Amino acid sequence: MDSANQLCKLFVGGLNVDTDDDGLRKHFEQYGQLTDCVVVVNKQLQRSRCFGFVTYSSAEEADAAMAARPHVVDGTSVELKRAVAREDAGKPEALAKVKKIFIGGLKDDIEDEHLNEYFSQFGEIEKAEVIAEKETGKKRGFGFVHFADNDSADKAVVLKFHTINGHKVEVKKALTKQEMQAAGRGGGVGRGGRGGRGMRGGQNGFGGGRGGYDSYGGGFGGGYGGNGGGYGGGYGSGGYGGAYGGY
């Protein structure tokens, strides 16, 4: 799925075991035209795994469904999230709900206002900042955007790569070391060793700084294009068991 279509696809968790494709479609088509709708089934047991996916014909329709949360399908409250790319499924940090994103690979000509202008397409921004050395003012090649809500951050992260001022940058959820540890424990339920590796990557990336932004900067310097394990997105815990990688 290309990046534009990725914003059209939503994950639905906590479904009633009796909800089928038709039941899921009946509920979510009230927010727009669906191009795909599926409840994931355990093929051996021939029963619902209690989660599924809906794909709208436009990102605006998906936004409308997200804005209508919370949802109740067949008498059961369900969880609606942005679906992530298959290769990111099972990464532990995706379970974390954050309003802050980390932008890496920033060139020197990118200022705070460029981040604010670009990322405002995903939602209301409370603060956008390019990080620089306090002593010298030299830019450190990364920054942060603080959104007003979680879904705006999720939308930006789903697309992963963005172009600002003609430069390709990478976007991740901005997680503290403690949040990475908590997310890693959750991810471990679904993906076992993979979740563990992701958590350790996060610890390496975010630990050991003097505090403040140093822990983020050190992690990005070590992880960007190399360590990578400290970032990403997926649904690897709870009742969903990391199965999104197969869909």
Q: Which residues of the chain have pLDDT under 50?
A: 187-212, 214-215, 217-246
Residue 155 · residue 92 · CB < 8 Å: no
For residue 179, the model assigns a pLDDT of 76
In a domain, 239, yes or no: no
Within-domain flag for 146: yes
Q: Are residues 19 and 78 in the same domain?
A: yes
In a domain, 178, yes or no: no
Q: Is the domain of 33 the same as that of 76?
A: yes
Q: Is residue 75 assigned to a domain? A: yes
Structure-token match 């075991």, residue found: 17
Query: ∠ CA(32), CA(38), CA(40), 5° rounding?
Result: 150
**What are 88-117's pLDDT values in tens digits?**
767 766 777 899 999 999 999 999 999 999
Q: What is the pLDDT of residues 184-199, one digit of tens each?
A: 665 433 333 333 333 3
Query: In the 8-state DSSP scheme, what is residue 196?
Result: H
- The confidence score (pLDDT) of residue 183 equals 67
119 belongs to a structural domain: yes
Domain boundary (146, 172, 198) is at 172
CATH of the domain at 62: 3.30.70.330
Domain count, the chain: 2
What range does the domain containing 108 cover?
Answer: 100-172
Same domain for 79 and 108, yes or no, is no
